[in-house]
Chains A and B, each alone.
Chain A
Amino acid sequence: MNIIVCIKQVPDTSEVRIDPATNNLVRDGVKSIVNPFDMYAIEEAVRLKEKFGGKVIVLTMGPPQADVSLREAISLGCDEAVLVSDRAFAGSDTLATSYTLSKAIEKIKDYDVIICGKQAIDGDTAQVGPGIAAMLDIPQITYVRKIEEIKDGNITAERATEEGYEVVQTRLPCLMTVVKEINNPRLPSLKGKIKAKNALIQVWKAVDIGAEENRIGLKGSPTWVLKIFTPPPKPKGKIFEGEGQHVVDQLVDSLKGLLH
C-alpha cells in the first residue's frame, strides 16, 4: 500500500501573542512546527504501512525551510519526502494550493491513500484536503477518528461529526483527513533521526509538476486578503475576591441582565 501524507509547516500559534501596548503581533522567537493535526496523519500513515506494507511519501508545499518539517516526518517513519517549492507559488490561496499539491500527487502517481490533518492551525480552513480530492476526482472521508477496515479495495472508517460519528465506506484510492482522536503519535527513534538527517529530499518546482502558470500562486488564487487587523482588546473584566457566598452573590447580580 502506498500512502501519501500532506503536511504543512506552520508558525506555532500558541507562541504568537499580541503586544498589549502596540496591539501588534509579537513573533519574536516563534518557531515553525509541523501542523499538529498533521502529526496524527503521519502516525496513521506509518501504522498503515506497518500493517499492509508499502511506503509512505510525505509531501509539502512551502518555502525551502519547510525541509525541516519533512525531515521530522522521516524521523517518525515516513520513507520518502517531496518539497514542492517555487517562488511562483507565493500568494497561493486554498484553490491554488489544492491544485499545486494535486499536480505533485499526479507526478507521484502510484498511491492508494492520501492522508491530511483535518486543518492547519494557522489558517484553520480545512479546505485543502477536500480540495485535493476534488482535483484528483477521488472520494474523501473527512474528520476520520478511526479506520475500521481496509479490504478488497474498500476502506471503512469512522467520521467524527458534531453529534458523534458516522461509519462511512468508500473505494480506494481515497483521501482522508484525520482528527486527534485517531491515534497517539510516537516519538522519533534514534534510527529515525539518523535516517532523517541523511535523507534526500526531492525538491520540485512548478515546471517539474507541469503546473499551469495561471493556476498557481497569486494568479491562480481567486481570494486575497484585503486587510489584516488585530481584534480590539477586551476591556479588563471584573474580578471578585473574598468570602465565597459574597462573591457568588455579586457575580450572579452582575449577570442578571443576561439571564432574563
Chain B
Amino acid sequence: MSGITVYKDKCMGCALCAKACPFDAITMVDKKCVIDLDKCSLCGSCVEACRKFGAIEIVRTTTQTPDIEKYKGVWVFAQQRKGVIQTVTYELLGKARELADKLKVDVACVLLGHGIKDKAQDLIYRGADKVYVVDNPKLEHLLEEPYARIVMNLIRKHRPEILLCPATSVGRSLISRVAVQLRVGLTADCTGLDVNADERYLMQTRPAFGGNIMATILSKNHRPQLATVRHKVMKEAVVDLKRKGVIEVVEFDKSFFISRTKVLNVVDEVISTVNIAEANVIVSGGRAMGGAENFKMLEELAKVLNGAVGASRAAIDEGWMPYSHQVGQTGKTVCPTIYIACGISGQIQHLVGMQSSDVIIAINRDPSAPIFNIANYGIVGDLFEIIPLLTKRFKEVL
C-alpha cells in the first residue's frame, strides 16, 4: 500500500518532524507524531527529519518505464529563435556533457527550426556527439503540437535517459506536453543537476516557495527523466573547433507538421537593447525613483556596465517602465552577475525574483530597508546623488 506511515513505537516525541513539515500537517498528540492527511503532500521532509529514529516511512509503488535499462544518453533541446541558437542551449550543453561523462554515455541535441541545418555544427563544437536536425518551414516558430510530436517520436526511437530543456517560455510550453504524453516525470526550473552514476538517476534541485526553500527531486522509475533548467545558472560550454560529431537530418511525413495553432506575427518590444533575462548586469529602480524621467539615470548607469534596466512592481504599477522590465514574483526571475537595486526597499515579492544574482548592490536612503539583508554591498544614501557619481566612477575605471 502506497502512502505515509508513522511507527508509534519508534516515535520519541522530539517534534523535529513537525518543525520540518512545510505544510503544517504534523501535530504532537500525547508526545507522538500525528499527520493530518488533508494537509500532507507526502513531500518527505519529515522522513528526512526523522532519519535517526526511522519512525516515519513513505512507501511508493509507482509504475516503471518498461526496458528502463535500455535508455542511454543525455539529450538537450536546442532552442533557436529566428534561426539563431539561443545561448541558454550552450549552458545546457555544458551541464549535459558533465552528466554524460559521469554516466559514460553520449550527448545528443534535438534542433528544430527552419533554415537551421548549418547551425548544427556549432552544437558539436560545444560538446554534442550527435545532433538530430528537423528543418521545415512549419517549425520556424514554436508550435507545440508538431514540436511535441517530433520530439516524442525521436525519444521513442532513440531512448535517451535524460532530456534537458531551457526553462524559457518556449521550453516550458513544449516539454510539459511531451512529459504528459509520454507519462514521465518532469521537474521545472532546475538550478542544480547531478547524477548517481551507479543507479543512473538524475538529482534535480530547484527552488520552491519563491526560493525560500530548495527541493531535490527524483524520477527514478521513469525514462527519460525530463528537466527544464533555469537560464544563467549553468556555465556555458566552451567552443572546441576540433570536436567531431554526427549530424543526422531527420525527415518526417506531413502528418507530423499538422497544427491547429499558427503564429501570425512576432513582435520584439524590449526597450533597451538588452533583454533582462539575458543581461549580465541589471540596474533596477523602485518607488523611490520618483518618476519615469528619473529612469534615464539608471539607463546611463546600465549603459556603462553594458547592462539592462529593471524595475520593481511599485515602479511598473506607477507606469514608469513597461511590464516586460518587471523583476519579481509577478514579473521576471533574473540571475545576473551584478544586480544594482536603486531605491528598492526589498519586499519579499521582489527578492524572490533576484536573490540568486551573484552580487547584489543596494542603494537606499533607509539603512533598515530589507534589501540590505541580502545585499553583498550596500550604500546608505540619496540615490539621486549616488547614481550619477557611480556612473562617472565606472566610466573612469572601465
B163 to chain A, nearest CB (A): 14
A236 CB to nearest B CB, Å: 8
| B 154-201 contacts with A by CB, 8 A | 168-170, 172-173, 176-177, 179-181, 183-189
Q: Is the C-beta of A219 less than 8 angstroms from some C-beta in chain B?
A: yes
Confirm or deny: A106 has a beta carbon within 8 angstroms of a beta carbon on chain B. Answer: no
Q: Give the complex CA separation of A141 and B177 in angstroms.
A: 12
Give Cα A16–Cα B22 distance, bound, in whole angstroms.
Answer: 10
Question: Smallest CB-CB separation from A123: which chain B residue?
Answer: B208
Contact residues of B: prevailing secondary structure:
mixed
Interface stretch of the complex, out of A43-51, A157-165, A202-210: A157-165
Query: By the criterion CB–CB under 8 Å, are B173 and A238 in contact?
Result: no
Say whether B203 faces chain A, with CB atoms less than 8 Å apart.
yes
Measured between beta carbons, the chain A residues less than 8 angstroms from B349 are 14
Separation of A29 and B20 alpha carbons in the complex (Å): 16
| B210 engages A125 (CB within 8 Å) | no
State the total of A-B contacts with C-beta under 8 angstroms.
Answer: 303
Q: Does A195 sit within 8 A of B, measured CB to CB?
A: no
Which residue of chain B has its CB nearest to the CB of A215? B183
| Contact with B22, one of A143, A228, A258 (Cβ below 8 angstroms) | A228
Contacts of A220 in B (CB 8 A): 62
A17 at the interface (CB under 8 A from B): yes
In the complex the two chains form, is B176's CB within 8 Å of A167's CB? no
Q: Which residues of B contact A122 (CB under 8 A)?
A: 208-209
The answer to whether B352 and A65 have CB atoms under 8 Å apart is no
Shortest beta-carbon distance, A67 to chain B, in Å?
12
Of the residues A225, A238, A258, contact of B44 by C-beta under 8 Å: A225
- Distance in angstroms between the alpha carbons of A227 and B82 in the assembled complex: 40
- Residues in chain B near residue A124, CB distance under 8 A: 188-189, 207-208, 210
Given A14-B348, A167-B267, A171-B260, is A226 in contact with B385 using a C-beta cutoff of 8 Å? no
Q: Is the Cβ of B386 less than 8 Å from the Cβ of A247?
A: yes
**Which 10 pairs, one residue from A and one from B, show the smallest C-beta to C-beta distance?**
A222-B185, A91-B42, A130-B176, A164-B269, A223-B185, A125-B188, A134-B180, A170-B261, A134-B177, A167-B265
Min CB distance, B123 to chain A, in Å? 21
- Does the CB pair B208–A252 fall under 8 Å? no
Q: Is A108 an interface residue (CB 8 A)?
A: no
B390 touching A252, Cβ below 8 Å: yes
From residue B191, how far is it (CB to closest CB) to chain A in Å?
10
A247 to B382, CA, bound (A): 12
Q: List 13 A-B contacts (CB under 8 A).
A: A13-B210, A94-B179, A122-B208, A122-B209, A131-B177, A170-B261, A181-B323, A228-B208, A241-B380, A252-B397, A255-B359, A259-B394, A259-B398
CA distance A246 to B334 in the complex (A): 30
Q: Which residues of A contact B380 (CB under 8 A)?
A: 239-241
Q: Is the CB of A223 within 8 A of B219?
A: yes
Q: Is the CB of B268 within 8 A of A164?
A: yes
The CA of A15 and the CA of B2, in the complex, are separated in Å by 33
Chain A 88-139 residues near chain B, CB threshold 8 A: 90-91, 93-95, 98-99, 121-131, 133-135, 139
Q: Which residues from B are CB-within-8-Å of A258? A: 337-338, 359
Does B121 sit at the interface, judged by CB under 8 A? Answer: no
Q: Mark B52-68, 1 if CB is under 8 A from A, else 0.
A: 00000010111100000
Query: Judging by beta carbons under 8 Å apart, are A90 and B37 in contact?
Result: yes
**Cβ of B260 and Cβ of A170 under 8 Å apart?**
yes
Contact present for B185 and A93 (CB under 8 Å): yes
Q: Are A251 and B221 in contact (CB under 8 A)?
A: no
Most buried by B among A162, A167, A169, A229: A162
Closest Cβ of chain B to A240, distance in Å, is 5
Q: Are B213 and A229 in contact (CB under 8 A)?
A: yes
Question: Which of the residues A25, A125, A128, A135 comes within 8 Å of B213, measured between beta carbons?
Answer: A25
8 Å CB contact of B42 from A90, A134, A252:
A90
Contact across chains for A238 and B378 when beta carbons are under 8 A apart = yes
A227 to B323: give the CA distance in the assembly, Å: 35
The answer to whether A13 touches B367 (Cβ under 8 A) is: no
Taking the closest CB of chain A, its distance from the CB of B230, in whole angstroms, is: 10
Taken residue by residue from 211 to 230, chain B's Cβ proximity to chain A (1 for < 8 Å, 0 otherwise) reads as: 11111111101100000000
| CB atoms of B215 and A225 under 8 A apart | yes
Q: A224 and B218: CB pair below 8 A?
A: yes
CB neighbours of B24 from chain A (8 A): 27
Q: Is the beta-carbon distance between B19 and A24 smaller than 8 angstroms?
A: yes
Which residues of B are found within 8 Å of A200, using beta-carbon distances?
Answer: none
Q: How far is the CB of A192 from chain B (nearest CB, A)?
A: 24
Compute how far the CA of A25 lies from the CA of B43 in the bound complex, rounded to whole angstroms: 15
Asked whether, in the complex, the Cβ of B377 is within 8 Å of the Cβ of A240, the reply is yes
B91 within 8 A of A: no
Beta-carbon contacts under 8 Å, B15-47 to A: 19-20, 22, 24, 37-45
B144 lies within 8 A of chain A by Cβ: yes
Let me know if B381 is at the binding interface, CB within 8 A. Answer: yes
Closest CB of chain B to A120's CB: distance in Å?
Answer: 10
A65 to B185, CA, bound (A): 28
Interface stretch, picked from B125-133, B248-256, B292-300, B368-376, is B368-376
Contact, CB under 8 Å: B40 / A90 = yes
**Which chain A residue lies CB-closest to B362?**
A237
Given A14-B349, A142-B172: A228 in contact with B48 (beta carbons within 8 A):
yes
List the B residue with the shortest CB-CB distance to A171: B260
CB-CB < 8 A to B3: which residues of A?
Answer: 90-91, 218
B241 at interface by CB-CB < 8 Å:
no
Tell me, rounded to whole Å, the shortest Cβ–Cβ distance linking B86 to chain A. 9
Asked if A193 is an interface residue, CB under 8 A from chain B, the answer is no
Q: With the chains together, A125 CA to B171 CA distance in Å?
A: 12
Task: Find chain A residues with CB under 8 A from B352 CB.
Answer: 13
Chain B residue nearest to A238 in the complex (CB): B377
Contact B379 A139 (CB under 8 A): no
- From B184, B386, B390, B394, contact of A222 by CB (8 A): B184
